[in-house]
Amino acid sequence: MSSDSPPVRRLADWDHDRLARLAEEHGTPLYVLDVDRVAANYRRFAAAFPDAHVMYAAKAHTGRAVLSGLLEAGADIECAAAGELQRAIDAGADPNTLQYTAVNPPGGDLDYAVDLADEHPGLTITGGAEDTFDRLEDRGYDGRVAIRINPGIGTGHHEKVATGKDAKFGIPYDEVPALADDLRDRFDLVGLHAHAGSGVLREDLDDHCRAIAKVAELAREVGDSDLEFVDFGGGFGVPYREETEPLDMQAVGERVREAVGDLSARIKLEPGRYVVADAELILTTVNTVKETPATTVVGVDASLATLIRPAMFDSYHPIRNVSAPDRDPHPVSIGGPCCTSADVFATDRPIARPERTDLLAIGNAGAYGYELANQFHSQPRPAEVAIEDGDERVVRRRETMADVVRVEDEAGE
């Protein structure tokens, strides 16, 4: 896929015959990942910010196929946990290029990061609490650090992702200058970091750019000429709803540069969702169609254990009948096999009328899809198939019931 690929990929753009064949070969529910689309999304984003250092925020999707594909495309990796650091290294990342953004880090995570930095001093550790820096010093660490700032402005698609105004994230804005002076005596202070929120679209850009401008102004107050970078995070969204237009990233790049203004330090950005969301979907099979006075209930074999975002964030995901996309649309409520009313993907949504055994596709599942998959109701997690350069391969096998109970069985050995 070329770097001038469309800025959004809708469900209708996927090859339905191929999807049907993959479902037949590998069963459902099934994650289908387009690695070429991941790389194309990254290149489009990087082209909009030619002077910035663009890293991929691994928490959106840590699959090895995604990480290795992005590394090949030239991306560096930003990690929010020790496990993500390890997965980035396993995918081929040079530890000296990694950035670890610690949020209330467990002791084991800090131990891992400090040990890693002992061997790879290019690693950068970002702290969002004075306590974190004290804990690093207690471990004998005096290497590269960045301060995570709380700009007091949150943006994004849901209050649970508006991190820029959540006290959990970052040092209060007014406390940063004094902390920076202190840290310069104890560590190699190389940057500032902030993240306003996630899922930012056109209506959120004004607030997002206000947060960026506020962080840039603080960087100048702290002394940006003495900093290597100022990291403005990611958060740029994708259109989950069919009627929503995608961001014009070239225009967004201009807005961001205007908000930053003159800055001696290099701009750093960390897209996550933007890179992977529309590069993956979930295939699921209809097993039940039930007419009720209130609605037509369509039961599928995917569930909130497969994709928890609708239950967690009330998120909208497009759904398409792959088996019969041209049937007349009919309002249906689509849900999975979990014994909770939260296990619903759509309510009274017009879909080409599903019938039992039809194959449905749930779109925009690449960001925080498999990452949040779980084993609720003792459901094994699904397989994941990657498409790259025309080839297909299983990159995560389907779990079995033996996988679900393995840690209990091993504990009893």
- Element of type H or E holding 40: helix 35-48
In angstroms, the CA 239 to CA 221 distance is: 36
Residue 390 assigned as binding residue:
no
Residue 271 assigned as binding residue:
yes
Question: Is 339 designated active site?
Answer: yes
Beta carbons of 34 and 15 less than 8 angstroms apart: no
Which residue among 79, 209, 338, 339 is the active-site one? 339
**What is the chain's alpha carbon radius of gyration, rounded to the nearest angstrom?**
22
Helix (H, G, I), strand (E, B) or coil at 221: helix
In angstroms, the CA 18 to CA 160 distance is: 36
| Phi, psi (rounded to 5 degrees) for 271 | -65, 140
Helix (H, G, I), strand (E, B) or coil at 150: strand
β-bridge partners, 236: 200
Residue 309 assigned as binding residue:
yes
In angstroms, the CA 351 to CA 18 distance is: 21
Beta carbons of 244 and 281 less than 8 angstroms apart: no
In angstroms, the CA 139 to CA 110 distance is: 9
Q: What DSSP letter does each residue of 322-360 carry, written as one string?
A: SS-TTSPEEEEEEE-SSSSTT-EEEEEEEEE---TT-EE
Residue 10 assigned as binding residue:
no
Beta carbons of 240 and 316 less than 8 angstroms apart: yes
Angle at alpha carbon of residue 273, lines to 275 and 133, rounded to 5° = 110
Contacts of 167 (CB under 8 A, 6+ apart): 150
In angstroms, the CA 198 to CA 178 distance is: 29
Helix (H, G, I), strand (E, B) or coil at 54: strand
Q: At what angle do helices 249-260 and 35-48 cross, to 10 degrees?
A: 40
Which position has the token pair 């990233």? 249
Token duo for residue 209? 């750019």
Q: What DSSP letter does each residue of 54-107 carry, written as one string?
A: EEEEGGG---HHHHHHHHHHT-EEEESSHHHHHHHHHTT--GGG-EEEESS--H
Residue 388 assigned as binding residue:
no
Active site residues: 339
Binding site members for pyridoxal 5'-phosphate: 235, 270-273, 368
Binding site members: 235, 270-273, 309, 368
Binding site members for substrate: 273, 309, 368
